[in-house]
Amino acid sequence: MKQPELKANERELIKLIRFFSKRAKSLIETGQLDPEHEKLTAACQNLEQQLYTHAHNRSAILEKRAHLERVVEDNAQCPQCKHADMLKRTGTTSNEHGWRCNTYKCRRCNITFTWNRPNNPWHLVEFLELYIKELDTALQTEQSEQMRQHIITSVAQMQDSLSRLRPVLQDSEDEVTALEEKEKEMTRLIHQFKNYLLIEKIKLDTLEEPEV
Ligand SMILES: [Zn+2]
């Protein structure tokens, strides 16, 4: 398994744990430290394991989140030549609704433009909701039966997309919230354990004090 990325406080504690375990082990071996102390060493290793599990979990959730950011295919096409083959993405911008959209350059027409459709699922949900509302309004005054059918089909397709998108986004939201909670808990634990180890380390230092 690939080593997950650790935060600075996690790295610092793991370093301390390793240093402390090594010191304690050699002191037990030379009989300068009560074997009872092994319990503390075991607790240290247990915590180190917990830290890695947490870090793995965090990177998996963040990776899923990053994937979700990129999942929307905006199907952009040049407003002038109506093609997509010569498009080059130049960046992102926010439109009047606050939705993040991609900007493009068409190398055939040599123009740059903003594709007015969100490039991410969160804004896509808002886009679909607004679009459905507009179509519903249009339906109320539409006279042509053919147009009415067309609108009804479009709305149904969009409702379908929405019902597939919403639970995915909700799951991701729940995961991120749970991760944030866990992060707080780990930060507290790391802080407490670090202080505890620093005190234990001072005790070990005292044990090793040269006799005068
Ligand atoms: Zn073009």
Residue 112 Cα to ligand 1 midpoint, Å, equals 9
pLDDT greater than 90 at residue 173: yes
- The count of structural domains within the chain is 2
H helical segments located in 71-144? 121-141
Residue 131 Cα to ligand 1 midpoint, Å, equals 26
Q: Of the candidates 199, 182, 200, which has an alpha carbon nearest to the alpha carbon of residue 7?
A: 182
Residue 103 Cα to ligand 1 midpoint, Å, equals 13
Both 79 and 65 in one domain: the answer is: no
Both 15 and 54 in one domain: the answer is: yes
Both 57 and 24 in one domain: the answer is: yes
**For position 192, what pLDDT does the model report?**
94
Both 62 and 107 in one domain: the answer is: no
Residue at 182 is within a domain? yes
**For position 210, what pLDDT does the model report?**
66
Residue at 81 is within a domain? yes
Both 66 and 12 in one domain: the answer is: yes
Cβ-based neighbours of 28, under 8 Å, separated by 6 or more: 34, 35, 37, 38
Residue at 127 is within a domain? no
Residue 200 Cα to ligand 1 midpoint, Å, equals 70
Percent over 90 (pLDDT), the chain: 78
Both 17 and 44 in one domain: the answer is: yes
Residue 90 Cα to ligand 1 midpoint, Å, equals 14
Residue at 2 is within a domain? no
Residue at 54 is within a domain? yes
Q: How many CB atoms lie within 10 A of CB 10?
A: 20
Residue 74 Cα to ligand 1 midpoint, Å, equals 16
Mean pLDDT of 47-69: 94
Q: Which helix (H) or strand (E) holds 62?
A: helix 38-70
Residue 43 Cα to ligand 1 midpoint, Å, equals 64
Cβ < 5 A residues, ion ligand 1: 78, 80-81, 106, 108-109
Residue at 142 is within a domain? no
Q: Please tell me the total number of residues recorded for the chain in this structure.
A: 212
Residue 84 Cα to ligand 1 midpoint, Å, equals 8
Residue 75 Cα to ligand 1 midpoint, Å, equals 14
Q: In what order do the strands lie in the sheet with 111-118?
A: 87-94, 100-106, 111-118
Both 12 and 61 in one domain: the answer is: yes
Residue at 138 is within a domain? no
Residue 2 Cα to ligand 1 midpoint, Å, equals 44
Residue 113 Cα to ligand 1 midpoint, Å, equals 10
Mean pLDDT of 72-94: 96
pLDDT greater than 70 at residue 1: no
State if pTM tops 0.85. no
Residue 119 Cα to ligand 1 midpoint, Å, equals 20
Could you list the residue range(s) of the whole structural domain that residue 105 is in?
Answer: 74-119
Q: Of the candidates 95, 94, 103, 96, which has an alpha carbon nearest to the alpha carbon of residue 74?
A: 103
Residue at 83 is within a domain? yes
Q: Write out pLDDT tens, residues 10-36.
A: 999 999 999 888 888 888 888 888 877
**For position 92, what pLDDT does the model report?**
96
